[in-house]
Structure 1
Amino acid sequence: MGLRGRWYRGGTSKCWLFDSKDVALHAPTREEIPALLSAAFGAADARQLDGVGGGTSTTSKAAVIWATPDADADLDYLFAQVGIGDPTVELGSNCGNCATAIALFAVQTGIVAAEDGMTKVRMRHITSGAVLSGTVPTPGGHIPKSGLARVPGSNAAGVPVNLSFHGPWGQNTGALLPTGNAVDQLQVNGRTLRATMVDAGAPAVLIPAEEAGVDLSSMADNLSGSLPTLIAARASAGLAMGLRNPEDPPQNAVPKVGVVAPAGDYIAADGTTISADSHDVRVRMLSMLAPHPAIGLTSAVAVALAASVQSSVVADAAGQAPLPGTGAPRMLRVGTPAGVIITEIISDEKGMVSEVALHRAARHIATADIDVAQAAELSA
């Protein structure tokens, strides 16, 4: 069966974007969408050889998009993290890099009409209800096909997109701090680890790197010795945050899990040296079951919000006080394996974070009719 899709690079991820009308031809209900995407990506094979998946967590992503011109947002989208060597498709998380691509997609496909100057696309993530906006340059109402913007983690140029997460906290659990604590003690494989658990951008658990046995003076290694601890920490945090019940199996996508350390000279994934004065905090995150090559944008939002919480493990590592109640933006520079990314944290007059903004880039790669293998063919 044929499934029409559009392939985009958004930031440091690649995402297949699907119009809901095309998806409905093969998956009339939302419950049927995971099986369709799993087959289209060839998810059951670790190489994703018989599908359009890229074989890594950052290139095995999809989103289904519904235009909603009469609603508060211009469109709704369902983000899917597609399994690799596993037919499971997880719908519980969000992806800012894919949202960056969706904003460009919306302008290029006419979901949102291009304005003279800048065109703002408002997007609602269906699973969490989070609202994001992506602003795309459209001088003279011209729809951009290419651009010169670059982001850490990719040398490729793309159309600049300013991505903002609005009211980016409590979307999954109802609170920035689901446990009510800035720091909790997690029981992980017989050890006790300090952790800050936040629901911001995406649910995330952040642990001091030293306690997790991770050395962030280099971000070029595969963390093989630390993966069991971090994966177990995710499972423990999922229970503590109310994201799953004890009888439910742990998820691989949520909560996000990462380690943090104070600023310091470190070796990036490409072998370059990143100086301590270029960033405020060092961070490494997992993406599914492997180290993220950069940092997911929802994870960057979680780190930024955690830095605004007094005495959190991130605030302690970054050496930052809570946001002042002036409404003025504040920058948090995050050192990642791909280099330094900058988050802009905007608070209201009460000091509550109202928006987190990031500068990203996106590019349309291809439009294709995917020949999706039937389930019987996949098992043959």
Structure 2
Amino acid sequence: MMNDLKRISCILYRSGTSKGAYFLDNDLPKDKEERHNLILKIMGSPDIRQIDGIGGATTVTTKVAIISVSKREGIDLEYKFIQPSIDEAIADDKPTCGNILTAVGAFGIERGLVSVEDGETIVNVYDVNTGATITQVIQTPNRTVQYHGDFEIAGVPGTASPIKMFFKNISGGKTGDYLPTGNTYDIFDGIKATCLDISMPVVFVKAKDMGLTGYETPNELDAKKELFEKIELIREQASQKMGLGSAKGNVIPKFAIISEAKNNGDINIRYFTPTTAHPALAVSAGFCVAAGSFIKGTILHEINSKEFELGEHIVKIETPSGTIDVGVNFPTTDIKDVEGKTTRTARLLMAGEVFV
């Protein structure tokens, strides 16, 4: 091919319930501003259609992972997540994404960054955005990444090969404390809220306090302009008290509306990106929900009163796309030592070069 465009190696993955572009760190500019501008150009932002890029025109299908070989002891890969805005010239590198994380190990194998074993390959990942460490178990029969399988996750049609993930160091990654305000609940704009930082800073409120049932569809929620105005008021106040500064132009803290489960789950949730309602639930936020259910005084514990005990627990979280099982482990009596466990799937969609 002969043209005046710059070409950059890229792999597209459906990863968990998200979709994103995966790049090698060395293939992108080192300067942060230059790198972010390039990512926005690649994705086609700012433009709600993203017609001039490879973005999916929704937050959950417009994501970027940047991968490198790690120099840390016991770690194979370093993962940096970028959330490009769709309609603004913003590339946010503060949050993480557990769904996009799912395909990181597979990407590393495909790119020859880690050695592959016959049967199963274990890949240890460091999340640059949060400081968490994640162990992934990837199916690799005959030393080949297996994408086909019979494991199903809510929010994705069909089945695929399971990728098991075990999370450590997930407490206080952005704020320094799993209770970043120092309280189990606060009042923001007249609404009782619990703020947690376990894998992701999230502000939780009860559906009934927002004038909702909690069982609305994402489309129904997205149509409520006044709701998002209220969410932003609460997010801004919560963000300041969590020590994150202003929420304006940032996707963290995330926002979630919770209510009682009605389909044999433990708790029901509507999660926000935060500019739209998520079709399911972010992996990182799932750990917040699960661990928060064991913390007395939080509004999550009011709805889903789990008794704290050492060891592993499964919390069933109902989402618009179905029920998600999220595992948490308490190795000590201190909540800050909580660990997470989940199983997701990923599929390689395209490998090649993107042009800008």
TM-score (norm 1): 0.87
Give the corresponding residue for 1:99. 101
Deviation at 1:146, TM superposition (A): 3.0
The residue identity in structure 1 corresponding to 2:352 is A
Matches within 5 A, 1:1-380: 1-23=6-28, 27-68=29-70, 71-187=73-189, 192-219=190-217, 221-223=219-221, 224-225=223-224, 226-244=227-245, 248=246, 250-264=248-262, 275=263, 277=264, 279-321=265-307, 323-325=308-310, 327=311, 329-350=312-333, 352=335, 353-372=337-356
User: Counterpart of 1:222 in 2: which secondary structure?
Assistant: helix
Could you list the per-position Cα deviations for residues 76-103 of structure 1 after superposition, in whole angstroms to 9, with x for gaps in the alignment?
1210111111121111100001000112
Instruction: Give me the whole-angstrom Cα distance separating, in 2, the residues matched to 1:110 and 1:69.
Output: 16
Q: Give the conservation status (yes or no) of the 8 Å contact 2:80–2:127.
A: yes
Deviation at 1:176, TM superposition (A): 0.5
- Describe the shift of the 1:201–1:90 C-alpha distance in structure 2 as closer, same or farther (beyond 3 A): same
- Describe the shift of the 1:220–1:88 C-alpha distance in structure 2 as closer, same or farther (beyond 3 A): closer
Give the corresponding residue for 1:268. none
Q: Give the conservation status (yes or no) of the 8 Å contact 2:327–2:341.
A: yes
Deviation at 1:8, TM superposition (A): 0.4
CA RMSD in angstroms comes to: 1.7
- Describe the shift of the 1:229–1:235 C-alpha distance in structure 2 as closer, same or farther (beyond 3 A): same
Instruction: Give me the whole-angstrom Cα distance separating, in 1, the residues matched to 2:172 and 2:228.
Output: 27
Instruction: Give me the whole-angstrom Cα distance separating, in 2, the residues matched to 1:254 and 1:89.
Output: 13
The residue identity in structure 1 corresponding to 2:313 is R
Give the corresponding residue for 1:271. none
User: Counterpart of 1:158 in 2: which secondary structure?
Assistant: coil
Instruction: Give me the whole-angstrom Cα distance separating, in 2, the residues matched to 1:209 and 1:96.
Output: 25
Instruction: Give me the whole-angstrom Cα distance separating, in 1, the residues matched to 2:247 and 2:172.
Output: 23
Could you list the per-position Cα deviations for residues 134-160 of structure 1 after superposition, in whole angstroms to 9, with x for gaps in the alignment?
211223533324333221001133331
- Describe the shift of the 1:130–1:251 C-alpha distance in structure 2 as closer, same or farther (beyond 3 A): farther
Could you list the per-position Cα deviations for residues 92-133 of structure 1 after superposition, in whole angstroms to 9, with x for gaps in the alignment?
100001000112212222222122332221111212222222
The residue identity in structure 2 corresponding to 1:138 is T
Larger strand share, 1 or 2: 1
Deviation at 1:301, TM superposition (A): 1.3
The residue identity in structure 2 corresponding to 1:157 is T
Deviation at 1:72, TM superposition (A): 3.2
Instruction: Give me the whole-angstrom Cα distance separating, in 1, the residues matched to 2:40 and 2:56.
Output: 13
Q: Give the conservation status (yes or no) of the 8 Å contact 2:126–2:133.
A: yes
Instruction: Give me the whole-angstrom Cα distance separating, in 2, the residues matched to 1:36 and 1:21.
Output: 14
Instruction: Give me the whole-angstrom Cα distance separating, in 2, the residues matched to 1:43 and 1:368.
Output: 21
Q: Give the conservation status (yes or no) of the 8 Å contact 1:124–1:132.
A: yes
Instruction: Give me the whole-angstrom Cα distance separating, in 1, the residues matched to 2:214 and 2:274.
Output: 20
Instruction: Give me the whole-angstrom Cα distance separating, in 2, the residues matched to 1:286 and 1:336.
Output: 12
The residue identity in structure 2 corresponding to 1:358 is T
Q: Give the conservation status (yes or no) of the 8 Å contact 2:80–2:129.
A: yes
- Describe the shift of the 1:70–1:180 C-alpha distance in structure 2 as closer, same or farther (beyond 3 A): closer
Structure 2, unaligned runs of 5 or more: 1-5
TM-score (norm 2): 0.93
How many percent of aligned residue pairs carry the same amino acid? 27
Deviation at 1:220, TM superposition (A): 5.1
